[in-house]
A and B are shown apart, each in its own frame.
Chain A
Amino acid sequence: MNFVWIMIISCLIITTFLSLYGIATRPNMIKKIVLYSTFSDVINVFIILLGYRRSLNPRVPVLHLHPTSEEIAVFEMTSVDPIVQTLVLTAIVIGLAVMLFLTFLVIQVYRLYGTIDTREIAKKSRLRG
């Protein structure tokens, strides 16, 4: 049990660093955006992991319409954290909005410069002054 959780958290951290490395060193803008989406997804999974309840049978935070007080007490003690999930829901929607606008900006950059390679864009913009 211990080993599995160490593995999960290590893989999340490795993926975070790897996607940051890719964003920093790859020259193509679309590659940068794809890796940025991976980065934000890893962070979202990590936030979800903070709200997970490590027990034998955790449950989804959904109840039925007419619960008794005993059912509510059991629900409170066994369900996972709903606040963290709503935070990630908001983060995904805002990330989607940012990603849409970034992609459209890349298309606009290609129209203006004829390339989406950051090195060539740097050269061309230096020539233009």
Chain B
Amino acid sequence: MLKELIFLIGIGLITIGIIFKIISSIGLLRLPDFYLRLHAATINAVGGTTLSIVGVAILSLVCDFLGDLRIYVFGSALAIAAIILITSPVGSHVIARAAYKSKTELPKYIFYDELRKGESNAYK
């Protein structure tokens, strides 16, 4: 009973991750602006990849054919999920900031521009 529940939770997390990935790839194709597309790409990493890998970690706990290795798979999958959760938002933050500061891509849809207002001292 418990095993089947864990199995279902793992499968469900992987499915939610795949749905996130589909949504983000539609957004990458359809969104009009560079920054909005970057947002869609980050949804892929944070929602899609992290949730899928956590699902794999939970699923590996009930995979009997892995034997004792399933603890290693669980731990390493959780570590990978944590690293992706740290790195990918920071990566898109740096990309967006670089695109804004080098003026290669200017935002089209913007209501309040904090970076331009405090250009002299706010962001170093």
A and B touch in the complex (CB under 8 A): no
